[in-house]
Amino acid sequence: MQYIGRFAPSPTGPLHFGSLVAAVASYCDAKVNDGQWLVRMEDLDKPREVKGAAADILRTLEAYGFVWDDEVVYQSQRAEYYENALNSLKDIGLVYPCTCSRKEIADSATASGIEGAIYPKTCLKHGLKPNTSEAYRALTIDKNIAFFDEIQGEVSQNLAHDIGDFVLKRADGLFAYQLALVVDDALQSITQIVRGADLLDSTPRQIYLQQLLGFVTPHYAHVPVASNAAGEKLSKQTLATPISTGIPRHALFDALSFLGQQPPTEIKNATLNELWHWAITNWNLAKVPKQRQIMVAK
């Protein structure tokens, strides 16, 4: 099977160093394996989207020398695929409607998981509130979902105990990240997912949905997340500095160093094409650090 990888940014602001790290890792791993590298814009959450950010992200990727192998996919244009998947899950009885607010869940929860309060299945047990918009949740089971991550090693999670019944479609009508991503990875025939370790805890949910929908599970490799001095992941929310397109080879060199590839100092002043040639020729996933987060002076 041909290697098909992807980079899937959210257009909530410009690319920062943490975004570049994920893009470089996925790109190098695809190219060293003679694979395809796709770009998908995860623009489902329109209230958080920054106008013009998607086009800015693509311009930045081009300035850094990234070349994608097919048309860019925009999740905002693919609601019918997500609705079909949701209906398939409804048909097998593993999705149910929910009218609980976040406050009601926080007040009624009796257990906590890795992402906070575990939903206590209120709407499954007691029915829905009238005249209230419905979300839809995936019914989880008391079963371990395990997989081998090519960087982090063995990962196992009990969805019922660690996550609880998670949302697939929000009460405002927007599809949730977990469902949309799984559907798009399947439709784009993604075989390898190289991304930040901040998404490691989401992977068992995605594998669970893949299993329910009859999709093939890709291989995973979760690279360390770049964090600031306060230990916060670099993101738009933590006001991470956008990467400059002025001298892209310098930031590219720093990303390769962050990823443990040990580029020689002299290559920092090479041309962008020469730096990419070195990066792809010498890419070694085994050298990527296993830490989930690494602080950077950015």
- Under 8 Å between Cβ of 99 and 66: no
**Average pLDDT, stretch 176-186?**
98
Cα first-last separation, the chain: 39
Q: CA–CA separation, 193 vs 26, rounded Å?
A: 7
Which DSSP string do the residues of the chain spell out, in sequence order? ---EEEE---SSS--BHHHHHHHHHHHHHHHHTT-EEEEEE----GGGPPTTHHHHHHHHHHHTT---SSPPEEGGG-HHHHHHHHHHHHHTT-EEEE---HHHHHHH---EETTEEPP--HHHHH-PPTT-PPEEEEPP-S-EEEEEETTTEEEEEEHHHHT-S-EEE-TTSPBPHHHHHHHHHHHTT--EEEEEGGGGGGHHHHHHHHHHHTPPPPEEEEEPEEE-TTSPBPSTTTTPPBPPSSSHHHHHHHHHHHTT----GGGGGS-HHHHHHHHHHH--GGGS---SEEE---
Q: What is the model's pLDDT at position 297?
A: 65
Q: What is the model's pLDDT at position 236?
A: 67
Which of 20-34, 124-138, 205-219 has the lowest average pLDDT?
A: 124-138
Q: What is the model's pLDDT at position 238?
A: 64
Q: What percent of the chain has pLDDT over 90?
A: 85
Q: Is the pLDDT of residue 298 over 70?
A: no
Q: Is the pLDDT of residue 1 over 90?
A: no
pLDDT band at residue 267 under the 50/70/90 scheme: very high
237-253 pLDDT per residue, tens: 765 788 988 889 999 99
**Average pLDDT, stretch 90-104?**
95
Q: Is the pLDDT of residue 129 over 70?
A: yes
Q: Is the pLDDT of residue 278 over 60?
A: yes
**Average pLDDT, stretch 149-168?**
97
Q: What is the model's pLDDT at position 190?
A: 98
pLDDT band at residue 66 under the 50/70/90 scheme: very high
Q: Is the pLDDT of residue 296 over 90?
A: no
Q: Kindly report the average pLDDT of the chain as a whole number.
A: 94
CATH match of 4-77+219-295 with 3.30.479.30: no
Q: What is the model's pLDDT at position 235?
A: 74
pLDDT band at residue 165 under the 50/70/90 scheme: very high
Q: Is the pLDDT of residue 160 over 80?
A: yes
188-221 pLDDT per residue, tens: 999 999 999 999 999 999 999 999 999 999 999 9
Q: What percent of the chain has pLDDT over 70?
A: 98
Q: What are phi and psi of 6, to 5 degrees?
A: -160, 160
